[in-house]
Amino acid sequence: MAEFHLKCEKRDISEYIILVGNPQRANKISSLLKSPALVNENRGLFVYTGFYRETRITVATTGMGAPSTAIVLEELANLGGKVFIRVGSAGGIDPKLDVGDVVIATGSIRDDGTSPLYLRSSFPAVPNFDVLQAMIATGKRIKENIEYGIVIAEDAFYIPYSREEMDCFVKSGVKAIEMESGCVFIVSQYRNVKAGAIFALDGNVALNKIKPEGAEDVYKKGEAVAIQIGLESLCTLSKNNIK
């Protein structure tokens, strides 16, 4: 039976799923799959299912922010999804990071309004260990200088943190900031499914380099690496029957 927003059936969805915010990224990843089928386009939440190597994989669009992400993840879990890897973009916070760098989240500072409705704010927002382990191992194999660490997931894109808060994040070793990882980790924990998250950086917020002009090609190279790590990690998890 189709869900409220994703108008597809259980047979259309793999247990292994890439989550993306941007529908253009979903289209891009679908082009890397063998025999990709568009199984949902309702509300612009494009969902494709196909094969990467020998692994059946679904690529699903969540839209921007935690509320939409929670809805899509919930409905995919209802349709049989078991392992989710968010592949997205983020702004760097660590001053050593720049456009095109790739960060794997080892945990998320929750600054969204959705995830506390699932589990109280003191509950840690962390990826599943098996998924994280597979992603870091795959990342080190694919990219020499892969980064991993704590990220921030916050709601208000156009409301910046104060300089004092940002300096505290930098001092504490926070790697990057985006909008969905905390929700992905918490909803997955609540629903007893597994999740991880990886990001290509499109700038550095701490250095006030927010989506700098002329850096699109560098960003796209980082995005391609993040996509490859996500797909290869799902293949490893599927091969090892982790779900």
Q: Is the pTM of this model over 0.85?
A: yes
User: Is residue 2 included in any domain, yes or no?
Assistant: no
User: Is residue 167 included in any domain, yes or no?
Assistant: yes
In this structure, what CATH number is given to the domain that contains residue 156? 3.40.50.1580
Average pLDDT of the chain is 97
User: Is residue 5 included in any domain, yes or no?
Assistant: no
How much is the average pLDDT of 21-34? 98
Integer angstrom CA distances of residue 44 from 2, 21, 80, 117, 207: 16, 11, 21, 26, 34
User: Is residue 1 included in any domain, yes or no?
Assistant: no
User: Is residue 45 included in any domain, yes or no?
Assistant: yes
User: Is residue 4 included in any domain, yes or no?
Assistant: no
Residue 116 burial by Cβ neighbours in a 10 Å radius (0-12, 13-18, 19+)? middle
Helix (H) or strand (E) holding 183: helix 181-191
Which pLDDT tens digit goes with each residue over 200-234? 999 999 999 989 999 999 999 999 999 999 999 99
User: Is residue 197 included in any domain, yes or no?
Assistant: yes
How much is the average pLDDT of 151-180? 97
pLDDT of the residue at 112: 98
Q: Which residue has the higher pLDDT, 144 or 101?
A: 101
Task: Provide the domain limits for residue 195.
Answer: 10-239
pLDDT of the residue at 148: 98
pLDDT greater than 90 at residue 1: no
Question: What's the total number of domains in the chain?
Answer: 1
Among 39, 53, 48, smallest CA distance to 233 is for: 53
How much is the average pLDDT of 83-94? 98
Among 55, 222, 233, 225, smallest CA distance to 138 is for: 233
How much is the average pLDDT of 146-157? 97
CB 150 within 8 A of CB 169: no
Which pLDDT tens digit goes with each residue over 34-82? 999 999 999 999 999 999 999 999 999 999 999 999 999 999 999 999 9
pLDDT of the residue at 139: 98
User: Is residue 69 included in any domain, yes or no?
Assistant: yes
